[in-house]
Structures are given as structure tokens and as C-alpha cells.
């Protein structure tokens, strides 16, 4: 799963680098980023996270009990229901686009606003196709088939890259943004298409049915509603960020999205991969209550260690070497050194809550496996309300009061979200411990990882200063290479099992090939 996510994220970073080359931080970039948020809202509401939480626990549990025919009935009904609801949302969304623009980006006006409206109308159907591809992911994950589902987004990214390269030399920025939107729709269809053949092999018989009278479908719907609301609450937080950023100077919204793309890389690679892989295992646990609780605690704690081993150095790298990372990926064409430093500051704010966000995903998966979707919803609402209030204070009034340029207000958005992420994690952990027993990580383990990451960051800075390379890519190779080598070396010295296991696996892979 991690390999699949890595490939798709690399493709996404290449896409964003090409996007930065043609658009930089221009009005067209702001318009496309804002436009993509609206249909992306639809995708996230109905897509991977919601279906994983409501559908996979039911479907995987039926498979574990040997009820394949009933599992097929549930899968078929969920697909039909999802298709119907998505079709209605797309039709309403296309006609209501001007109202949506006024809600999500009220600071846009003139040609910038008109471009955003046209982009949203193009993108809506593609978002529905991406949401349907999440149904395929649920089927494949429940059968422990992870690679195809997580590499499928590579196809979507490749189509978008081809759109930029094919039309970039012939169109201006506004027409190019529209061509890219059409490329996104075509890529969405391709992403869905590459998963369907394997899904068809796993489902014994597909039935066109709404699943009336099927108990498993009713359970999915009951679980779906709280998770749908929870995901909606999270999306409201992203909406508030976009709304506030639209009032900041040109480039703030596009730069926020550039930073978020990098921030979500470790979240997806390590938080999402471990959480998604463990959800079917959590859901398939059978036996006496005490035995199940011991099993769940052990798997949860092992997952927390896996995530922390990779996410702590990611957070430290974003904080200390973010300009190197941003420059290597985005610094080209219209995207210069000053933009790299600006995005680094935004990324550093996000890094504050990176560990909390990734660990929180695993805790949420545990709740979903227990068919409790309401507890994560309550804590998500608390986090979003607090994030919205702090985000406004940090982004709008605080920078002028401190004598800062208003454009730096976007750093306040990511900082406030990071702080609130820690509160949500504490609430999730404390409530879960009342049900399955004490969970979490030893303080000594966390201290070892942060120490190793700090020493790695010092080595990376030394390499950055000594080499004094002007081109961002060679600089990143030297600086980040030193950082990773020192982090891993110190972790091995501290006898961290995950470090030794990683070296052993890499060595075995090399010997095998």
C-alpha cells in the first residue's frame, strides 16, 4: 500500500511541479485551486474516508464469516446507492456553481471569478467518478488487494500532466486552466477504469439493487451518516481556510495548496497506509471480548510506532529544511526562490500538527472497526470549531497587529490547525482507552526519534551551507540525503526496532534482486 501511495504521490508532485511552471502563484493558479476545492468537497464527502469507515467494516466482517453472497449483495447495493446520490449532487452543483463560488471564495471578482465558475462546472463530473473509484478501493482493500487501488491515481495525474504539457505552449493561463480541468475529468474516468477489472473478478455477482431489506446495507447507511457528517465537518475546515485565504493578497491560496500537497504526502504514505491496511484487520477480529481487546491494543500500538518512525522525521524536515524540499519540487518557471520561502513558512505551520494528524487517523480507524462513527464525529466538530476561530485570529487581525505583511496570515491558518490536531488526538485516545485499555507510545521511544531527527536536521543544514549549490534539486539530494542517513544511523544506534527492521527489509530486497 505504501508503495502504491508513494507512486501516486510522486506523480502528483510531478503534476504540481508542471502546474507551478505554467501558473506560478498567478490569478489563474488561485482560480484553479479554489475551483478544485468545490468538487473535491464532493469527492471527500462520498469518497475514500467515508466509504472506508462505513463500508469496509461491514463488508470485511461478512467475508471473514464466510458470507460471500451477502457481501456481494451489500457491495452491489452500495454502488447503486452511491451512483444515484452522486448524480443528483453533480446536477445540482453544476447549476448552483455561482452561489458556491460566492460561498467559498468571496474575495474573487471579475475575470478571476468567472474563470473559477467555468472550472467548477467542468470539474464536477470528474469528482463523482473519483468518489466511485473509492468504492473500488473498499472492495480491493477488504480482499487485501492494495496495490492497484493506490496506484490508480497515477493514471489521473498522468492525464493532467499530459494536458499541461500538450496545451501549455499554445494557450494562455486562463484557457490552459480550462484545458487542465477537462484533463482532470478524463483522468478521473481512467482512474476508475483501471480498477474495475480486478473488482469484477472479486465480486461473485453484481446486482442492480438498492439493497432494501439487506441488513448489511442498513448497517452501512447507519454508519455512513455520522461519517458523512464528520467528513463534512472536516471539509468545512478546509472551506474556512480557503475562504480566509481568498481575502489575503494574490498567491496566498495557491501557496496554501502547494504546502498542503507536501504536507499530505507523509499523512498519506504513513498515516493513511497504515490506517487503511489495519482497518480490515481490526474489523475481522473474532473471539472473546478480552482476547479481542488485547489483539486490538497490540495492533494499534504497533501501528502507532510504525507511523511515528516515519512521520517525526518528516515533521522535522518540514520545519528545518522546508525551503530545500519546496525548491526541489516547485522552483521552476514562474515559481521562484521567494515563493519557495513563502511556501516553506506555510509548510512549517502544518508540521506542528503532522504527527497528531497521522496518529489520529489510526485511532479513528479503530473506532470505525468497532462500528462507532459518532465519537470521532464529536471530536472532529470540536477541532473544526476551534480551528476556525483560531484560524481567523491568526490569519486576519494578528499579522497587521504584529506589523507583518498580510500575506503571511496564511501561515496562521496552518499553525492553528496543527495546534488543534493535538487536542483531537488526546480526546480520541482517552475515550478509546476506556473501551480497550491503555494505548499509546513510550515517552522514551518518542524522545529517541525526535533526537535522531534533530541530529539529522543539523547534518542537513551543514550540507546545505557547505555545498552552497544554486540549483534546488542537487541541493536537496545532498541536504536531504545527509538528513536521512544521519536520522537512520542514530535510530539504529538507539536500537529502535523499526530502524533495524527497515534496514533488514531493504537489504533483503537488494539481495533478492
What sections of 47-152 are H helices per DSSP? 48-54, 56-64, 68-95, 97-104, 110-142, 147-151
Tens-place pLDDT, residues 240-258: 777 777 777 777 877 888 8
Give the angle subtended at the CA of 119 by the CAs of 23 and 244, to the nearest 5°. Answer: 75
Tens-digit pLDDT profile for residues 79-101: 888 888 888 888 888 888 888 77
How do residues 195-206 score in pLDDT, each as one tens digit? 888 888 888 777
17 vs 176, residue with greater confidence: 176
The predicted pLDDT at position 508 comes to 58
CB 193 within 8 A of CB 39: no
Min mean pLDDT across 28-42, 149-163, 438-452 is at: 28-42
Q: Is the pLDDT of residue 43 over 60?
A: yes
Of the candidate ranges 130-134, 173-177, 320-324, the one whose mean pLDDT is the lowest: 130-134
pLDDT tens digit sequence for 351-364: 999 999 899 988 98
pLDDT tens, position by position, 324-354: 999 888 887 778 888 888 899 999 998 999 9
DSSP 175-204: HHHHHHHHHHHHHHHHHHHHHHHHHHHH-S
Give the pTM.
0.70
Ramachandran class of 24: left when φ > 0, alpha when ψ lies in -120 to 50, beta otherwise = left
> What pLDDT is attached to residue 304?
93
pLDDT at 30: 82
Task: Compute the distance between CA of residue 483 and CA of residue 457 in angstroms, rounded to an integer.
Answer: 6
Domain ranges of the chain: 2-435, 443-513
pLDDT at 509: 52
208 CA to centre of own chain? 32
pLDDT in tens, 142-153: 787 878 888 888
Look at residue 234 and tell me whether its pLDDT is greater than 70. Answer: no
Amino acid at each position: 500500500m505504501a508503495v502504491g501511495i508513494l507512486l501516486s504521490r510522486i506523480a502528483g508532485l510531478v503534476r504540481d511541479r508542471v502546474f507551478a511552471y505554467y501558473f506560478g502563484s498567478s490569478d489563474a493558479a488561485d482560480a484553479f485551486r479554489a475551483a478544485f476545492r468545490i468538487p473535491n468537497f464532493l469527492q471527500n464527502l462520498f469518497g475514500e474516508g467515508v466509504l472506508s469507515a462505513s463500508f469496509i467494516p461491514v463488508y470485511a466482517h461478512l467475508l471473514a464469516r464466510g458470507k460471500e453472497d451477502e457481501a456481494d449483495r451489500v457491495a452491489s447495493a452500495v454502488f447503486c446507492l452511491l451512483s444515484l446520490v452522486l448524480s443528483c449532487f453533480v446536477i445540482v452543483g453544476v447549476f448552483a456553481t455561482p452561489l458556491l463560488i460566492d460561498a467559498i471564495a468571496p474575495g474573487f471578482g471579475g475575470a478571476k471569478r468567472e474563470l473559477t465558475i467555468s472550472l467548477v462546472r467542468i470539474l464536477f463530473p470528474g469528482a463523482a467518478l473519483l468518489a466511485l473509484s473509492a468504492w473500488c478501493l473498499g472492495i480491493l482493500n477488504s480482499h487485501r488487494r492494495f496495490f492497484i487501488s493506490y496506484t490508480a491515481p497515477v493514471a489521473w495525474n498522468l492525464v493532467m500532466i499530459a494536458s499541461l504539457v500538450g496545451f501549455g505552449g499554445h494557450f494562455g493561463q486562463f484557457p490552459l486552466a480550462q484545458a487542465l480541468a477537462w484533463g482532470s475529468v478524463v483522468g478521473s474516468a481512467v482512474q476508475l477504469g483501471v480498477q474495475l477489472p480486478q473488482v469484477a473478478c472479486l465480486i461473485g455477482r453484481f446486482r442492480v439493487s438498492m439493497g432494501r431489506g439487506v441488513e448489511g446495507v442498513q448497517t452501512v447507511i447507519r454508519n455512513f451518516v455520522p461519517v458523512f457528517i464528520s467528513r463534512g465537518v472536516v471539509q468545512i475546515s478546509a472551506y474556512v481556510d480557503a475562504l480566509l485565504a481568498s481575502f489575503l493578497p494574490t498567491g496566498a491560496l495557491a501557496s496554501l495548496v502547494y504546502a498542503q500537497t507536501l504536507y499530505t504526502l507523509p499523512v498519506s504514505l504513513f498515516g493513511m497506509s497504515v490506517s487503511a491496511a489495519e482497518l480490515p484487520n481490526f474489523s475481522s477480529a473474532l473471539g472473546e471480548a478480552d482476547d479481542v481487546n488485547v489483539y486490538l491494543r497490540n495492533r494499534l500500538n504497533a501501528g502507532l510506532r510504525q507511523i511515528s518512525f516515519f512521520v517525526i522525521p518528516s515533521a522535522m524536515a518540514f520545519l528545518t529544511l522546508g525551503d530545500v524540499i519546496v525548491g526541489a519540487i516547485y522552483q521552476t518557471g514562474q515559481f521562484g526562490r521567494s515563493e519557495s520561502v513563502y511556501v516553506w513558512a506555510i509548510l512549517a505551520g502544518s508540521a506542528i500538527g503532522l504527527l497528531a494528524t497521522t496518529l489520529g487517523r489510526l485511532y479513528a480507524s479503530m473506532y470505525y472497526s468497532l462500528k462507532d462513527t459518532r465519537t470521532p464525529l464529536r471530536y472532529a466538530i470540536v477541532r473544526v470549531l476551534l480551528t476556525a476561530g483560531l484560524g481567523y485570529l491568526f490569519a486576519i487581525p494578528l499579522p497587521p497587529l504584529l506589523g507583518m505583511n498580510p500575506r503571511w496570515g496564511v501561515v496562521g491558518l496552518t499553525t492553528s490547525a496543527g495546534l488543534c490536531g493535538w487536542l483531537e488526538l488526546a480526546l480520541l485516545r482517552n475515550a478509546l482507552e476506556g473501551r480497550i485499555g491503555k494505548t499509546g507510545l513510550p515517552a522514551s521511544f518518542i524522545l529517541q526519534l525526535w533526537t535522531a531527527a534533530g541530529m539529522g536536521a543539523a547534518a542537513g543544514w551543514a550540507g546545505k551551507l557547505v555545498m552552497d549549490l544554486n540549483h534546488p534539486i542537487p541541493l536537496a539530494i545532498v541536504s536531504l540525503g545527509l538528513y536521512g542517513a544521519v536520522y537512520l544511523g542514530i535510530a539504529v544506534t538507539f536500537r529502535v526496532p523499526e530502524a533495524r527492521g527497515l534496514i533488514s527489509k531493504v537489504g533483503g530486497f537488494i539481495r533478492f534482486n
